[in-house]
Amino acid sequence: MSATPVRVLVAEDSMTVRRRLCEVLEGDAEIQVVGEAGDGSRAIELCRELRPDVVTMDMMMPVMSGLAATEFIMAHFPTPILIVSSSTNRGELFKTYEALAAGAIDVLEKPMGYYGDDWDSRFISTVKLVSRIKAITHPRARLNNYIREPAQGASVHPSGQLCRVVGIGASTGGPAAIVNVLKAIPGDFPLPILLVLHIGQPFASAFAEWLDGQTPHRVTYARDGEPVIGVPGRVLMAPADVHMEVAAGRVRLTAAPERHSCRPSVDVLFESLAREYRDAAAACLLTGMGRDGASGLLEIHRAGGATIAQDEATSIVYGMPREAILLGAAQRVLPIGEIGSALAALSSSRFKDRP
């Protein structure tokens, strides 16, 4: 075993599934299962006592749900949490989204029946990945403290051209960040917002509906061919496993090859906004692993549009924003609580670069 193995606490009420998870984890020399919990309350006790590197968390458990346990853990002793869930109905999916918004890092489907080596390897690699990500105290409470009104005289567009469309991209840590940004943008915001979030099947199916209930905006999954300019403040989200781009004023959904192992890809959306709207486009790149969105944000910047990247301090994973900043793509680097108000000013203000 490695000198410093990844210490994992497994929270799962099904004995059969729990044993399967533990067996897979214990089969890797770099991982040590330090505890098992059959309900959310016990998961909290063991997390406080053992201080594991990662908690794998089921959502539907007795005594205390996985959502409640996640919220408590993130509020009192933040620990990287990987949701392992078989949730497929709307109510259970909503709880998964709530847990992600409360600070859980990622979500993986539960191994139902025989998944084989592919699922085992994905589980192992995801646990190791999550163990390297920082956990911050209850993001929903923490981030809400950042929300503020735009500074008087603040301006956000680099040219005299008023903005016509806003693009938002996010990945790991994205649900909480997206909710924070959209809550700070008034419901009567006159510009369309196009959103790409990396969240895989089967967990993507109800996310737009959940997000619609969290913010003052109408959020729907985009449909191929629908016009971009429509209901003020509407948010069009890329469906799972298809790219979303804009051409001739309409949404185009395609099954083109993945970009940076992602489909939908933030780069695909941002590059199309740069082509279609040039200096009338604006985009922000939020927390996420990898580099998807960085080159697309640069294309919007080069076209004269407004570009924003989330700062390191408020990013769960400072991967995508960092890559954009290194490319010189971000005109402004802002904490998550200031991004919504900056975007809200797009419809009436001009942009000035800030250090």
Q: Is the dihedral of CA 252, 345, 208, 141 positive or negative?
A: positive
Q: How far apart are CA 224 and CA 233, in angstroms?
A: 19
Amino acid at 168: I
Q: Which of 58, 279, 292, 311 is catalytic?
A: 292
Packed helices 90-101 and 207-214: angle between N→C axes, nearest 10 degrees? 60
3-class SS at 327? coil
SS (H, E, C) 240-263: CCCEEEEECCEEEEECCCCECCEC
Centroid of chain to Cα 313: 16
Q: Which residue has the tokens 């959020």?
A: 219
Q: How far apart are CA 133 and CA 130, in angstroms?
A: 5
Q: Are 279 and 161 in contact (CB under 8 A)?
A: yes
39 catalytic residue (yes or no) = no
Amino acid at 215: T
106 catalytic residue (yes or no) = no
With 0-12 CB in 10 A as exposed, 13-18 as middle and 19+ as buried, what is 104?
Answer: buried
272 catalytic residue (yes or no) = no
Of 202, 273, 95, 231, nearest in space to 285 by CA: 273
Q: Which of 198, 217, 260, 301 is catalytic?
A: 198
Q: Which of 131, 171, 272, 349 is catalytic?
A: 171
Q: Is the dihedral of CA 182, 165, 300, 237 positive or negative?
A: positive
Q: How far apart are CA 125 and CA 270, in angstroms?
A: 29
Q: How far apart are CA 337 and CA 177, in angstroms?
A: 9
Q: How far apart are CA 201 and CA 172, in angstroms?
A: 15
Catalytic residues: 171, 198, 292
